[in-house]
Amino acid sequence: MKLVLLLWIMGVIYAVLYIVPPAEGLGELVRIAFFHIPVAWVSVLAFLLSAGWSIQYLRTRDIQYDWKSSAAASLGLLFCLLATISGAIFAKLTWGAYWNWDPRQTSIFILLLIYGAYLVLRSSIQEEKERARISAVYALLSFLTVPFLVFIIPRFYFSLHPEPVINSGGKLEMDTIMIYVLLAAVGACTALFWQCFSYMVHNKQKSA
C-alpha cells in the first residue's frame, strides 16, 4: 500500500516536471499549481472531516471520533500552511507581491487561524473528555465561517486568483493532459493525507 502510494507520487512528480506543457501566459510557473491545488483541497477536506467527526463525537461520546477529529485538524494545519506558502510564492512570481490580502488569501488565512485556534484550545484543556467535548463544540462553531469563505468572499470581491478548476460556468479551461495530471495529483495528495491520518489514529489507539 505504502509502496503503491510512493510510486504514484513519484509518477505524478515526473508527469508534472516532464509531461505537462508550459501554460499560456504562466509558462513554467504553472507547475506550482500541481502542488498548490491538491494541498489546498486537502486542507479544506481536513476541515470538513474534522467538523464531521466532531458532530459524531457529540452524538455518540465515543472518544475515537475525538482522536480522528484532532488528527485531521493537525494534518489540516500542515497542509494549509503548505498551501499558503506555495500560493504566496506563486503570487510573488506572477503578481509581484507575496501577500496583498486577495480574497483567496483572506479565506486561507481565516482557515489557518481557525486551525490554530482549535489546536491551541485543545492543548489548554487537560481532562480528556472535557477536551473532546469543548473542542468539538468549537469545531462546529468555526464551521459557520465556511459559507462565507467559500461563497461570499470569492464571488463578491475582485480577485486576481486564477479561476478555480470547477468554476461557476462549469466549463474546464485546461488541456486534457493537464486535467489528468491534476486529478492524479489531487488523488495522490488525498491518499498521502489519509495514510498519515490512519497512522496517527492507529498510534493513538495503540497507546490508549
From 22-30, 35-43, 116-124, 175-183, span contacting another protein (CB under 8 A): 116-124
Residue among 11, 32, 89, 133 that touches another protein (CB under 8 A):
133
The three-state secondary structure class of 23 is: strand
The three-state secondary structure class of 168 is: coil
Q: For residue 27, which phi and psi values (nearest 5 degrees)?
A: 65, -140
Alpha-carbon distance of 2 to 118, in angstroms, equals 30
Q: Which helix (H) or strand (E) holds 179?
A: helix 176-207
Q: CB of 74: closest distance to another protein in angstroms?
A: 17
Q: Report the candidate in 73, 78, 79 with the shortest Cα–Cα distance to residue 114.
A: 73
- Tell me whether residue 19 or residue 141 sits nearer to another protein (CB atom): 141
**What grid cell was written down for 152?**
461570499
Q: CB of 125: closest distance to another protein in angstroms?
A: 5
Q: CB of 95: closest distance to another protein in angstroms?
A: 21
Cα-only R_g, the chain: 18
Q: Is 4 in the site for another protein (CB under 8 A)?
A: no
> By the 8 A CB rule, do 92 and 46 touch?
no
- Tell me whether residue 25 or residue 147 sits nearer to another protein (CB atom): 147
Q: Is 113 in the site for another protein (CB under 8 A)?
A: yes
- Where do the DSSP E strands lie in 29-166? none
Q: CB of 65: closest distance to another protein in angstroms?
A: 14
Q: Is 134 in the site for another protein (CB under 8 A)?
A: yes
Residues 31-90 binding another protein (CB under 8 A) are: 58
Residues near another protein (CB under 8 A) = 58, 110, 113-114, 116-117, 120-121, 124-126, 130, 133-134, 136-138, 140-142, 144-145, 148, 152
